Amino acid sequence: MPDIFEKLLKHYGPIGQHRQRAHGYFAFPKLEGPIGPRMIFRGKEKIVWSLNNYLGLANHPEVRKTDEEAAAQFGLALPMGARMMSGNSTYHEQLEQELAAFENKEDAFLLNYGYQGVVSIIDALVSRHDVIVYDAESHACIIDGVRLHAGHRYVYKHNDIEDFEKQLQRATTLIEKQNNGGILVITEGVFGMGGDQGKLREIIALRKKYSFRLFVDDAHGFGTLGKTGAGVGEEQGVQKDIDLYFSTFAKSMASIGAFVAGDKDIIDYLRYNLRSQIFAKSLPMPVTVGNLKRLSLLRSRPELKEKLWKNVIRLQQGLLDRGFDIGATNSPVTPIYMKGDVPEATAMVMDLRENYHIFCSIVVYPVIPKGQIIYRIIPTAAHSEEDIDLTLKAFEATKAKLDAGDYKVEAIPDMAEA
């Protein structure tokens, strides 16, 4: 009988196949020193554009002070156990109440992590008779949650409302035929790769013709969009029409955990049926108390979001002025689209890091089609004008080299032991 591990060792997967050359440099790099716009990579300072620290809270002195005091007071063990059994606290409940109020929803429920939270929410919401309709460019957590669904699911072309309606029609026909179940529509508030907002207004407008519930993953919109920073629903004026609003703390709040907000009855249902929380230890007290401080700063310091957007505009306009393609982004997420193969992309990354001291993330095949390169840049409130200007000059110089063929190499450079 074959060993189940045998097939794993024959092929490590599309990314893992490069592990021996890439580990420690292109994959699993180590950024050291205090979190900020400039950190140490392999002993040298780099301008870092790969951290979702949108509001610059990761190293904010008030945040650091609260984290330290909470850790000293409570330790990392408290509370012990899952929330339902023995891991609840007044602080956890306070954070939920404040999040619900901030998002203009009746109630909210804390989640330990964003990824497993979304997977578990989808699992709890739908049965085999229900139908899921979701955007083709949804985050992996949504894709994995949909894969667990035992019933039907229909995917629509990214932000294509005409195709979305076609899939709604298919879903509606199926529900009517089986005379059982309902429809759950899932989209993102801001798509993390392209930076474009989900077309929530157009989706919600179709409720006049179709019956469905809407679940929005707004990981990148929370704290960055809307007058108060409440996210894409506030930005587009449709917050009240979002049935379930989700976000993680890992981005604008620079922390751990997540939450889902909505009508009290539905949140209560999730509170008692979300397996990822029922069978997992509660968020540690220092993290919970620290998240209360982060949320307080997000609400009370509008200048943080203002500085973020000042940097976003300077960076994105600078790229456009230099002829770069940044797609349809209307959020801080800043993609730079280029043409090239995987070895060229890695050679360009090395040039940016070693000679221009710029550290940013790159996306290549198999995540996107062959022949394409996407640099994904995340501006934050902590970046300076100098950081932006140096980065623009670096990209202008390396783009010229890419177009001239200077990065043509036969294979991905071996950086694991370099």
- Per-residue pLDDT tens over the stretch 244-263: 999 999 999 999 999 999 99
**Which string of DSSP letters, residue by residue, matches 261-274?**
EE-HHHHHHHHTT-
Chain Cα centroid distance, residue 370: 24
Q: What percent of the chain has pLDDT over 90?
A: 83
> In sequence order, what E strands does 96-178 have?
107-111, 131-135, 152-156
Pick from 179, 117, 187: nearest CA to 159: 187
pTM of structure: 0.94
Tokens of 93: 């409940």
Residue 359 pairs in a beta bridge with 48
Cα–Cα distance for residue pair 373/391, rounded to 1 Å: 18
Q: Which two tokens stand for residue 298?
A: 């997000």
Q: Tell me the two tokens of residue 364.
A: 């290549």
Question: Using the 8-state DSSP alphabet, how is residue 284 labeled?
Answer: P
**Distance set, CA 101 to CA 106, 117, 298 (Å):** 7, 21, 14
Number of neighbouring beta carbons within 10 Å of residue 163: 16
Q: According to the model, what pLDDT value does residue 212 have? A: 98
DSSP state of 240: G
In this prediction, residue 410 carries a pLDDT of: 57
Q: Which residues of 286-297 are buried (b: 16+ CB within 10 A; e: fewer)?
A: bbbbbbbbbbeb
Q: How far apart are CA 55 and CA 224, in angstroms?
A: 8
What DSSP character marks residue 250? S
Q: Which amino acid is at 358?
A: I
CATH number of 61-300: 3.40.640.10
What separation in angstroms does the CA of 247 have from each of 187, 217, 255, 285, 287?
12, 6, 12, 20, 16
CATH topology of domain 4-54+302-404: Aspartate Aminotransferase, domain 1 (3.90.1150)
Q: What is the pLDDT of residue 180?
A: 92
**CB-CB neighbours of 333 under 10 Å:** 25
Q: What is the pLDDT of residues 67-115, one digit of tens each?
A: 999 999 999 999 999 999 999 999 999 999 999 999 999 999 999 999 9
- Segments of the chain assigned to CATH 3.90.1150.10: 4-54+302-404
Sign of CA dihedral 353, 358, 359, 360: negative
What pLDDT is attached to residue 339? 86
- State yes or no: pLDDT of 219 exceeds 70: yes
**Alpha carbons 188 and 142: distance in angstroms, whole number:** 9
What is the DSSP annotation of 187-223? EESB-TTT-PBP-HHHHHHGGGT---EEEEE-TTTTT
Q: Is the pLDDT of residue 7 over 90?
A: no
- pLDDT of 1: 75
Q: Please calculate the CA angle 252-185-99 and round it to the nearest 5 degrees.
A: 35
At residue 46, what are phi and psi to the nearest 5 degrees?
A: -130, 150
In this prediction, residue 416 carries a pLDDT of 53
pLDDT of residue 415: 60
For 7-69, strand residue ranges (E) read: 31-32, 38-41, 44-48
Q: Count the Cβ atoms, other than its own, within 10 Å of residue 247.
A: 29
Strand order in the sheet with 183-188: 107-111, 258-262, 244-248, 213-217, 183-188, 131-135, 152-156
Q: Which of 47-56, 117-126, 237-246, 371-380 has the lowest mean pLDDT?
A: 371-380
Q: In this prediction, what percent of the chain has a pLDDT beyond 70?
A: 97
The predicted structure's pLDDT at residue 22: 79
CB of 87 closer than 8 Å to CB of 80: yes
Task: Give the pLDDT confidence of 151-201 residue by residue, as tens digits.
Answer: 999 999 999 999 999 999 999 999 999 999 999 999 999 999 999 999 999
pLDDT tens readout for residues 103-148: 999 999 999 999 999 999 999 999 999 999 999 999 999 999 999 9
What's the pLDDT tens digit per position in 266-307? 999 999 999 999 999 999 999 999 999 999 999 999 999 999
DSSP-derived 3-state class of residue 38: strand
In this predicted structure, the answer to whether residue 46 has a pLDDT above a threshold of 80 is: yes
Mapped onto helix, strand or coil, the DSSP state of residue 112 is coil
**Quick one: how many helices (H) and strands (E) in the chain?**
15, 14
What residue spans in the chain does CATH classification 3.40.640.10 cover?
A: 61-300
